[in-house]
Amino acid sequence: MTTNILHTVPVKLPGGRSYEIIIGTGILNEIGRAVQDAGGGTARAVLITDTAVDARHGDAVRAVLKKSRVDTHTIVIPAGERSKNFKQYEKLLIDINAADGLHGVVVVALGGGVVGDLAGFAAATYKRGIPFVQVPTTLLACVDSSVGGKTAIDLPAGKNLVGAFHQPARVVMDLDLLRPLPPRELRAGYAEAAKTALIFDEKLFKYLEANLDAVLSLEPGAAAQVIRRCCELKAAVVSRDERDVSGLRALLNFGHTFGHAAEAALGFRRIRHGEAVAVGMLCAAELSRARGLISKDIVSRMEIHFAAAGLPTAFKGCSVDDIFSHIKYDKKFAAGKTRLVLLEKIGRATLVSGIPEKQIKSALEMRVV
């Protein structure tokens, strides 16, 4: 297999910290290099992955680590959001501790956002923080969750309620790892790429409109171009607002207040996160239109693009009241006094506070069937 590094995106953080995101095809050997660098040359790794990803890629990743003379212990968690819990977290810490030698250990998170968030949180908290390398295997993880250092587990009361900021030592994105992804997962991840374009970069949105099929079929040129741009845009946000305090990083929640509420109303299993975010973005766009920020044409343009990408454009199977009751409990929404991210144009978003409940309900009514 030929090694082909297509892009390297630097992430620069306050205090002179920085790390690299490496994007390419056939670049699994970069994982060995990343672990060696993070571990100071004599590395032991704990490879954390899930059942589905281990079956497809576990052996190949263990082989490159072995070739790089990294002593590797693997921990496999059950695939799915339900693994982001305290029991799995505790088990990981005990296993990491058992694998930890005199020279320390590097965590390698091989998987989607679930593995990244859980393994990242274990790495953030074990001995007050040990190095970890992200190896994303879903499109969602490439364009969003593996970049920026947010790590978390869920509580029965809600998602991501326990977490920490912990930046990876390096992120290795090998597009070949994404090939076995079920189409529905790919499309859900695509929604987060469209989100990044809608809030920050009109040119990227136009590129997505023109290259949708190439991106969804993971053509290396087009897919790597989109992933690179999403990483650059997120890296720029994280470097200015790493801890999500100034309001800049909050723009990345475009569509998420509506989306999270619908996920909760539908019980999380019936809708993928990215699908809920796609409809959530349309709700936020309807609201932006009702407040005179954007024209109807922009809402239609988004809707046409989402439909072409195979994403839903309305919530089904729950009522406006169901979704609205969950919106009221959204921690970010409540803390910001009915604060939502709205669109000013394609490529520019804004945080708006004090939105009347009636307006929020009316926007929802347009997107619930």
Ligand X SMILES: NC(=O)c1ccc[n+]([C@@H]2O[C@H](COP(=O)([O-])OP(=O)(O)OC[C@H]3O[C@@H](n4cnc5c(N)ncnc54)[C@H](O)[C@@H]3O)[C@@H](O)[C@H]2O)c1
Distance CA 155, CA 172 (A): 29
Which residue, 44 or 84, has its beta carbon nearer to ligand X?
84
Which residue, 140 or 320, has its beta carbon nearer to ligand X?
140
Stretch that binds ligand X, among 27-35, 106-114, 195-203, 298-306 (CB under 6 A): 106-114
Distance CA 266, CA 38 (A): 41
Q: Which of 23, 52, 124, 368 is close enough to bind ligand X by CB under 6 A?
A: 52
Q: Residue 28 Cβ, how far from ligand X at the closest point, in Å?
A: 13
The label of the residue with tokens 């109807």 reads 296
Sequence-separated (6 or more) residues with CB below 8 Å from residue 134: 109, 116, 120, 141, 146, 168, 170, 171, 172
Residues 66-105 that bind ligand X (CB under 6 A): 79-81, 84
- C-alpha distances (whole Å) from 279 to each of 81, 132, 140, 213, 346 are 20, 33, 16, 21, 16
Contact 303, 313 (CB under 8 A): yes
- Say how far residue 205 (Cα) sits from the centre of its chain: 18
Q: Which of 62, 159, 187, 289 is close enough to bind ligand X by CB under 6 A?
A: 159
Q: Which of 129, 180, 183, 317 is close enough to bind ligand X by CB under 6 A?
A: 180
CA trace torsion 298, 295, 271, 275 (10° rounding)? 20
The reply to whether 24 sits near ligand X by the rule CB under 6 A is no
Q: Residue 208 Cβ, how far from ligand X at the closest point, in Å?
A: 18
* Site residue total, ligand X (CB under 6 A): 30
Q: Residue 357 Cβ, how far from ligand X at the closest point, in Å?
A: 26
Look up residue 173 and give its amino acid: M
Helices (H), the chain: 29-38, 51-53, 59-67, 86-99, 113-125, 139-140, 183-200, 202-216, 220-240, 256-265, 273-290, 296-308, 320-327, 331-335, 357-365
Which residue, 123 or 141, has its beta carbon nearer to ligand X?
141
Q: Residue 362 Cβ, how far from ligand X at the closest point, in Å?
A: 28
The reply to whether 367 sits near ligand X by the rule CB under 6 A is no
CA gyration radius, the chain: 20
Q: Which of 85, 160, 350, 359 is close enough to bind ligand X by CB under 6 A?
A: 160
* Cα atoms in the 13 Å half-sphere on the side-chain side of 103: 13
Residues 259-278 that bind ligand X (CB under 6 A): 273
Contact 31, 172 (CB under 8 A): yes
Which residue, 299 or 341, has its beta carbon nearer to ligand X?
341
The reply to whether 250 sits near ligand X by the rule CB under 6 A is no
Stretch that binds ligand X, among 20-28, 45-53, 58-66, 219-227 (CB under 6 A): 45-53
Stretch that binds ligand X, among 60-68, 177-185, 286-294, 355-363 (CB under 6 A): 177-185
DSSP 8-state symbol, 156: T
Distance CA 7, CA 22 (A): 6
Sequence-separated (6 or more) residues with CB below 8 Å from residue 125: 93, 164
Q: Which of 44, 62, 150, 170 is close enough to bind ligand X by CB under 6 A?
A: 150
Q: Which of 145, 225, 257, 288 is close enough to bind ligand X by CB under 6 A?
A: 145
Q: Residue 281 Cβ, how far from ligand X at the closest point, in Å?
A: 14
The reply to whether 185 sits near ligand X by the rule CB under 6 A is yes
Q: Residue 113 Cβ, how far from ligand X at the closest point, in Å?
A: 2
The reply to whether 244 sits near ligand X by the rule CB under 6 A is no
Which residue, 84 or 305, has its beta carbon nearer to ligand X?
84
Binding region for ligand X (CB under 6 A)? 50, 52-53, 56, 79-81, 84, 111-115, 117, 137-138, 140-141, 144-145, 148, 150, 159-160, 177-178, 180-181, 185, 273
